[in-house]
Amino acid sequence: MFKFDKRMAIIVILAAAALGTAGCASTGRDFGDEVGQVAKDWKKGEKKLATGEDLVRDGNKKVRKGNKALDKAEADERAAQRNVDATQSKYDLAISTLGDAVNPDQAMDEADSIKSLSKDLKDAKSDLNNALKKQKKARKDISDGRSKIEKGKRLIKEGEEEMKSVETQYKEIASNVN
C-alpha cells in the first residue's frame, strides 16, 4: 500500500515549486496551477483515506460492542426462560391444587399465592421479552458496524486509487517540464 505522508507532501510541493519556475519559463504553461490542482486532488484522496480508516475503526468498535451485548442478551434470555419455566410450573401447581383449602385462611393463602405467582410470571415474561429486544438491538449494531467497515474499506480503496492516479499525473507534469 502506497503511503503518502506530510514529509512526502512537502518534498512534492518544494519540487513542484522548483520545477514550476523553470518549467513555466521554458514551456509557457502555468506549471504552478497544474501542481496546485494535483495537490488539491491528492488532498481529496487523503481525506477519503482518512474517512475510510475512521469508518473501519468505528465499525470494528461497533461490531465488538454489539457482539458483547449479544452474548449478554443471550445469557439474559436463557436465565429469563429458566425463570419463566420455573414460575410457570409453580403457577400451574398452585392452580391444580386450588380448592383444596379446608378453611378460609387456607383459601386466602391460596388466592394470595396464585396472585403472587401470576405477577412473578408476568415479570419473568417481561424479562424474557426485554432480553429478546436487547438481542435484536445488538444484531442491528453488529450489522451497522459491518456496513461501516465495508463503506470504510471502499473509501480507503478509492482514496488510494485517487492518490496513485494523482502521483502519476504529477510525474507526467514534472516530466513534461524537463
Does residue 55 sit within a domain?
yes
Cβ neighbours of residue 158 under 8 Å, at least 6 residues apart?
Answer: 45, 48, 52
What interhelical angle do 6-27 and 31-96 show, nearest 10? 150
Among the residues of the chain, which ranges form H helices? 6-27, 31-96, 104-177
Instruction: Report yes or no on 31 lying in a domain.
Output: yes
117 part of a folded domain: yes
Dist. CA 144–CA 62, nearest whole Å: 8
Whether residue 177 lies inside any domain: the answer is no
DSSP conformational letter for 97: T
Structurally, how many domains does the chain consist of?
1
The CATH number that applies at residue 35 is: 1.10.287.620
Q: What is the C-alpha to C-alpha distance for residues 12 and 34, in angstroms, rounded to an integer?
A: 13
Along the 178 residues of the chain, how does pLDDT read in single tens digits?
455 566 565 555 655 555 555 544 444 457 677 778 888 888 898 999 999 999 999 999 999 999 999 999 999 999 999 999 999 999 999 988 888 888 888 889 889 999 999 999 999 999 999 999 999 999 999 999 999 999 999 999 999 998 898 888 888 877 876 6
What range does the domain containing 128 cover? 6-172
Give the Cα separation of 128 and 45 in Å (integer): 49
Tell me whether residue 1 is in a domain: no
